[in-house]
Structure 1
Amino acid sequence: MLPFENIKKIDLSKVNNGFAENIPELYDKLIRPQFENSKLIKEIHHTLVEYINSNDPIFFIRLYGSYTKKNYELQRRGFLTEYSDNMKVSFCDNTFTLLFAEMKLANINYSSLDLKKLLSQKKLIVGFGQVSEEKELCFYTPKDAIRAKLNVKGWYQAHIKPTGYGYNDLDLKTLFPNPPRIEFQKEDRIRHINEKLTSNQLRILKAHFLRLIHPFNSFLVPKKNQLSYSGKNIGEENELINFVRKQIKKGYPIEYEEFDNLSIEYNIEESKSFITNIQWFEKPINEKKIISKKIDLKKMEKLTVEKNLENERSEIDLEIKLENTLRAIGKEIFATVLYPELIKNIEVSYEEISNNYTVYNSFTINSQKSRLSKAKSIFREGEETEALLNIYESKKIKNEVKLKIVNYLNINGYKKALS
C-alpha cells in the first residue's frame, strides 16, 4: 500500500474562529505549526530532489486546466505525453497539489519510488472535476483515487513562489504549447513523442514541479470567504508570503538554498503597508451575499491571465460557484434525490423524478426544471464528487443524509475518504 493512502485515516482540522493582530501573530497561530516537523520536511525535500533527477520521472504542469464551456475541448488535465527518453508530462490544476500539502500536515513521509508509483497509476486526482471532453482522452481518472480534504475543511493553499510564471526567460506555455486532442487518441491514451525534452524544457519542468508540491513552497490559510481583513486574499499578500519565506529560510537554511536554486530564484516585492486585524471564521462570512453574487467569469479570467499568464478560473472561485449552485438546488435535494437519479441516467427528466419523489413533486414545475438543470451541469463539469464532499461537510446536513453520502462514495471507491 502506498503511504499516500494513509491520509484517509487522518482527521484534519477544519478552519475555526480566530483572530490575529498582525502577520507575525497570524503566522504563529496558523502557519508555524505547518513547518514544525523538520525531520519529515527535510526527508521529503531530499525525496523530491532525487525524484526530479531520476531517469524517467513523470512531471505535472499547471496549464490548460479550466476554460469557459465553449472552449472545453482545450482542457488537458490528465492528458499524458511520453517522450523518447521515457520522461512523461501531464497537465493539472492546483487541486493536484493538495494531496502533497496534506501529507505534510499529516506527518506522513514518502519515497521517490512511492511518488513514482503514485503518478504512474491511472487513479489520480489531477483537477477540480473533469469535464466530459477531458474524460474522453485523459490518462488519469479520479475514480478510486486518493482524495485530499483540505478544500472542504475551509483551507486555501497559498504558494510562495508563483507556479505559473517567474522562471526568468523561460515560459511554460511557449515550451509546452497546448497539444492537439487527436494526438492523444491512442489505445493507451498516451501521446508518444519521438523526441527528447530540451534542456530548457527539463529545467522548467523540474522547477515548476518543485514549486507545485514542495513543502517549502506552500502554506495554508483560511479561504477568502472565511476570513476578514482589509484586503482580498491574504494568501496572495506580499507581506505574508515574504514573512513565511523568511521563517522557512531560517529554519531550513541548507535545504532551502538547494530548493531555491532548483526551483529558479524569484523575488517578491516587499510590501509597503502592514496588514492588521485579521479575523477568520468557522463558516463562510456574508453567506447570503456570496450565494446571490453572480460569478463574473470574464473578470475571473482577466485576473488569472494577469497573475498566471493562463486563461483559467481559479479553483477557489470554482468552489464558490459550486457552493452557490448547490444552495440554489438545495443540498439535501441534490444528495437524496438528484444525485441517485443522475448517477443512473444523466438524461432523466424532471417528470420522472417528480413521479418518484414526493418532496420533488412539491416544487413548482419551473423550480423542478431549474434544480435538475443545475444538477446536470454539476455532473457535466465532473464535479459530482466535489458536490457530495461539500454537502457532507456542511453544518446543517442531517446524519442520515451524511450516511447516504458515505455510501455513495464507498460504492464509487472512496472508502474512508470522509472523516
Structure 2
Amino acid sequence: MTSAAARTARDLTADLPVPALEDLYQDLHRHPELSLAEHRTAAGLAGRLRTAGYETAEGVGGTGVVGMLRNGDGPTVLLRADMDALPVTEETGLPYASEHDGVMHACGHDLHVTWLTGAAEALAAGRDTWSGTLLVVGQPAEETGQGAALMTADGLYERFPRPDVLLAQHAVPGPAGLYAHSPGLIMSASTDVDIVVHGRGGHGSRPEATVDPVVTAAYLVTRLQTVVSREIAARESAVLTVGRIEAGTRHNIIPSEARIALNIRTQSEEVRQRMIAAIRRIAAGECRTAGCPREPEVTVGNTFPVTVNDSETDRRIAAVHGQVFGAATILDPGPAMGSEDFAHLAQHEGTRLPYSYWFVTCTPADVWNAAPGTDLMDKFAAVPSNHSPHFAPDLSTLAPGVRTLVSGALSYLVR
C-alpha cells in the first residue's frame, strides 16, 4: 500500500522545473568554491530560500546557510546538503566544466545543493499538504570535517528549533536510479595523522656524515603497511593510506627532515586508538633504529566521526523511497570506508538526534555500460568515483534526488 507521504511526494514533484534545475546545477559546477569559501554558493542558496518563503540566516559557522519554514504543529525535520568543492583539476571535458583552475566539484556537492534547493522549493509550494517545521541547511566545509561542528558551535540549535530527525544524501558511482540505505553503520571514521622525521642533513656525497630522513621515511612507510595486516583482527574493517611524502630541495642535498601525511579509516573507536598507538610506536622505533637526533613528531589531525543511521529512521525513509521509486531500486550495500561529518549535526547536549543518511547512484548509463566487468562491483571499481577529476554525475538524477528529500521529509510531516 502506498503511503500518504509517497503519494504527496509524487504530487509535489510531478512538475519539477527540470530545465531550471539543470541551469542551477551547471552554474554551481562552473563555479566551485573550497571549504569555508563558499560565498557565492551560499548567497545563491540563501536567495532561493528567501524567495520561497523561508526565514533565512547566512554566515552560520562561517559560510553556512539555514532556512526555516514554520508550517503549523508537527515535527521539525532538517534537510542538509554540503556545499564545498575540492582542490582537483577537472578533466571531464564537460561544456559546463569548472572555470576555476585547480578547483572542481569532484564529490557531487553541487548536485547536493541543487537537490536541496529543488526540495525546499517544492515543499514550500506544497505547504498546504503538510504540517510542522522544515529546516534547510547548506553546510560548509564537509571536505575538511569542520563545517557541521562549526555550525553547531555557532548556536545552530539555539537559533533554530532542535530537529526531531535529520536527513541527508550523497551522490555516488553506480548505475543511476538506485538508492542505498543501511539501517546502522553506513560510513566509517576518518583520521589524519602527520609524521615529521628529524634527521641530520648534509652533502649527498657524504651520507656517512648525515642521518638521512628520506631513507627512514621509506622504511616507515613500508612498516606502516603492517598495521592493518598484522595488528587488526580480520573481522574488523580498517584502512591505512599514506597520501603524501615530502622531503628535500635538490638532488645532491640530504635534507634534515621528511614529512609523511597519512589517513586511517576505522569503524570503531577501539580500532582507531589501536592504530594511532601503532603508528606512534612504529615511527618512534624506526627513528631510533636510524639514529635520528630527535624523536619523530606524530600529530593527529582532522577526524570525521562514524556515520551510524538510526535503524528505525532509516527503515522508514527506505520504505517511502521504495514506494516512490519501486522496491527494486532500494539496496543495502553495508558500511562504506568513506567518511562524512554529518553526524556532528546530530549531536546536541550530549545526545544523538536520530538521522538517516543514504546514497544516490549517479553514473551515466553510457559510462556504466562501457565499463569493463560483468557484475556490479567490477563496474563500480572501473567508473569515475568521487574525488576523481573525471567525476561527472548524470543529469537524469536531478529530479529523483529532489524526490528522495521531499518524500523523506513528508514521511514525518504528512499525517
TM score, norm. by length of structure 1: 0.24
| Greater helix share, structure number | 1
| Greater strand share, structure number | 2
TM score, norm. by length of structure 2: 0.24
